[in-house]
Amino acid sequence: MKKFDTFLEEYQSGWKNCSLEVIELSTWEDFQAREVREIDGEILVQDYGYAESIKGWKQAFDAFRDKEVNWKFHEVNRMPLRQGEMLTSFWVTLELDGVEVQSAHFFTDTFKQINGDWKLIRSYIEASVPISSVPKERIQL
């Protein structure tokens, strides 16, 4: 059975390398997410599951295929919830072709051990937050 810290490191490494396979293998088939973003001054809330999530990851990774991509993770908190469950919260910033994107995403993710493997089971995302909202004393992973 893999320790959570090792799993999280591998998960984030797969993300940084735009590996759809790692994302698919790390996400539970009954995954649930809520994403909140502001577009043109309007707050939009979207709920989705596994299939929509994987489709979104594929679209993002495809869009970045010919670019130099540097995802940066800035951990805020990590704590156990229940037996075999961990909650993490972190900012993700992005550089494309050496230029920092001026928005960030804030994630609160719940992972659970299922049949001995860690899986992402729930995610709450504040998307496209101004980069100025990310704390200056970021811990980069």
In a domain, residue 3? The reply is no
**If you write DSSP's letter for every residue of 5-68 in order, what string do you get?**
HHHHHHHHHHHHTT-HHHHHHHEEEEEEEEEEEEETTEEEEEEEEHHHHHHHHHHHHHHTTTS-
Total domains present in the chain:
1
Paired tokens of 87 = 């909650």
In a domain, residue 75? The reply is yes
For residue range 25-71, what is the model confidence (pLDDT) as tens digits?
999 999 999 999 998 999 999 999 999 999 999 999 999 999 999 99
In a domain, residue 122? The reply is yes
Q: Give the 3-state secondary structure of residue 4.
A: helix
pLDDT above 70 covers a percentage of the chain that reads 95
pLDDT computed for residue 136 by the predictor: 72
In a domain, residue 8? The reply is no
In a domain, residue 60? The reply is yes
Per residue, the 3-state secondary structure of 35-50, as one string, reads: EEEEECCEEEEEEEEH
In a domain, residue 2? The reply is no
In a domain, residue 81? The reply is yes
Residue 74's domain is classified under what CATH number? 3.10.450.50
Longest dimension (CA), the chain: 46
Q: Note whether 105 and 127 are within 8 A (CB).
A: yes
For residue range 116-138, what is the model confidence (pLDDT) as tens digits?
999 999 999 999 999 988 887 65
pTM of the complete model:
0.90
In a domain, residue 139? The reply is no
| CA pair distance 15, 36, nearest whole angstrom | 20
**Domain hosting residue 65, numbered range:** 14-131
Cα 36 → chain centroid = 14
